[in-house]
Amino acid sequence: RRDDEVVPAFLGVDAGALLDGFGCQVEVVEQAGGHELDAATVVAVRSWLASLGAPPRRVSLGLPVDRVAAAGEFRTAGAIADLAASWARLGFAAAYVTDHPAPDDRWVAGGGHHALEPTVALAAAATATSTLRLHTNVYVLGYRNPFLAAKALTSLDVLSGGRLLLGVAAGYLRTEFEALEVPYAGRGALLEDHLRRLLSIMSGETQTVGSRTVTPEPRPVQRPHPPVWMGGNTAAARRRAVEFAA
């Protein structure tokens, strides 16, 4: 490590690994705090974003909520808020988080990860800035009852002043479905069914439950509902992206 190649701790082990791949000797140190930005860094990142072309590109940058072992640096509300404020200052449009409520040990050992609960982590991020969009990348709807998902996601949109970007997908980790007692087969159809119900609830449509009705409250700030981003790399995912963009 040369003095002019010190990697700020908040960049995490991924940046260290990237630099190591280019032949740099990297030392990564976990420390509490250390999320401050200097003026030169802000100028450099904003210049890079501007260089992406016109119209200006809006980039979503991940919050390291998967680094659950790095308690002092990443796994506190203060750390998430610090990083979210930094993302906004650097000019990023959104911060995203991942979703893994029950990853199995074998998958984690092979490069997978745990993560904080998405809406809770994004709520912490929301307190630090009034402009940064809050992006679920992605939220596996099949894991959750649509009413519970709608309540959590709507609450986040309301408390953040309408900044939720709702990224959803069918999911892929079979053992996670098994742990949550959700059928793995047919998960694509389950996503579509849950998403239709979720958007209906968020739009304020009266829901029939048995012999009674439910009128959803509160409504999201974004009407009729937050924008939906469809995750996936299959033909079915592309079809859903078109269908639910309409």
Which residues on adjacent β-strands are paired with residue 208?
213
pLDDT at position 20 is 78
3-state secondary structure of 97: strand
Give the start-end residues of each E strand in 65-206. 94-97, 133-140, 164-169
Residue pLDDT, tens place only, 161-216: 999 999 999 999 999 999 999 999 999 999 999 999 999 999 999 999 999 999 99
Rg of the chain taking only CA atoms, in angstroms: 20
Rounded Cα distance, 133 and 126, in Å:
8
Rounded Cα distance, 215 and 195, in Å:
18
Rounded Cα distance, 85 and 108, in Å:
29
pLDDT at position 2 is 40
Which residues on adjacent β-strands are paired with residue 228?
166
Encoded tokens for 78 = 């203060």
Q: Compute how many other C-beta atoms are within 10 angstroms of the C-beta atom of residue 8.
A: 16
Rounded Cα distance, 114 and 105, in Å:
10
Residue pLDDT, tens place only, 60-99: 999 998 888 877 778 889 999 999 999 999 999 999 999 9
Strand pairing of 228-230 and 212-214? unpaired
Instruction: Judge contact between 36 and 24, C-beta under 8 A.
Output: no
pLDDT for residue 226 is more than 60: yes
pLDDT band for position 13 (50/70/90)? low
3-state secondary structure of 37: coil
Residue pLDDT, tens place only, 17-68: 777 788 887 776 655 556 778 888 888 889 989 998 888 889 999 999 888 8
Q: Residues 6 or more apart from 169 whose CB is under 8 A from it?
A: 138, 139, 140, 191, 230, 231, 232, 237
**Residue from 115, 125, 123 nearest 66 by CA:** 115
pLDDT at position 164 is 98
pLDDT at position 3 is 39
Identify the DSSP state of 203: T
The dihedral through the CA atoms of 70, 85, 96, 178 has a sign that is positive
Residue pLDDT, tens place only, 126-145: 999 999 999 999 999 999 99
Q: How far is CA 211 from CA 100, 128, 214, 217, in A?
A: 35, 44, 10, 20
Rounded Cα distance, 81 and 100, in Å:
21
